[in-house]
Chain A
Amino acid sequence: QKEVEQNSGPLSVPEGAIASLNCTYSDRGSQSFFWYRQYSGKSPELIMFIYSNGDKEDGRFTAQLNKASQYVSLLIRDSQPSDSATYLCAVGYSNYQLIWGAGTKLIIKP
């Protein structure tokens, strides 16, 4: 059974620091990896996707994928209070389905 696990948090990080969010997945057949941000009462918003091993950077966000260890991480540099949200990890498979983690709640403290 395909599973995606995230620490539910909350993860509390001081403003200006680096927030590190982690996600592990169970099935080695996974092909694509996504990070979404969801503010309370709103729908999820795609912030990063990564397909290959290594790092992918976009502004203050860096996604890191390690297929051998079956984990994907999201780093947020220079964290801002507006980054406070729930971050959802999703893993895509060849059957066209995304499997979702339950999300990590991130709190950035001013």
Chain B
Amino acid sequence: KAGVTQTPRYLIKTRGQQVTLSCSPISGHRSVSWYQQTPGQGLQFLFEYFSETQRNKGNFPGRFSGRQFSNSRSEMNVSTLELGDSALYLCASSLEGGTEQYFGPGTRLTVT
């Protein structure tokens, strides 16, 4: 079975721009969670989607948004990028959420 894939793997953007990151979960997995990780920091939960609905949300500003499609693929969008948004963005999929999650390789975003 193919693992979780994330595109792009690396991204450089300028402050004020917006960015869209993509995640394809493991086949059959319906829950997709997004996390932000900065150097030396733990995983900061952004949001979780299940069957195209946002089921849980972390404490991030409204500039961070996401969506899930009928094939369970998910995207997250960050508008009006700030320097502090530079981080590794990780996507994880699970069968139904609350169970074991499997991570993609991440997208490393650099904001200049």
Interface residues in chain A, defined as those with a beta carbon under 8 Å from any beta carbon in chain B: 31-32, 34, 42-46, 49, 88, 90, 92-98, 100-103
Given contacts A97-B97, A98-B98, A101-B42, 15 further A-B contacts (CB under 8 A): A32-B99, A32-B100, A43-B88, A44-B43, A88-B42, A92-B98, A95-B55, A96-B48, A97-B45, A97-B98, A98-B45, A98-B101, A100-B43, A100-B45, A102-B41
Chain B residue at minimal CB-CB distance from A92: B98
Q: Which of A96, A100, A102, A103 has the most CB of B within 10 A?
A: A96
Chain B residues, CB < 8 A from A96: 31, 48, 50, 55-56, 96-98
Binding site for A on B (CB under 8 A): 31, 33, 41-43, 45, 48, 50, 55-56, 88, 90, 96-106
List of 7 A-B pairs having minimum Cβ-Cβ separation, nearest first: A96-B97, A102-B42, A96-B98, A43-B103, A92-B98, A97-B56, A100-B43
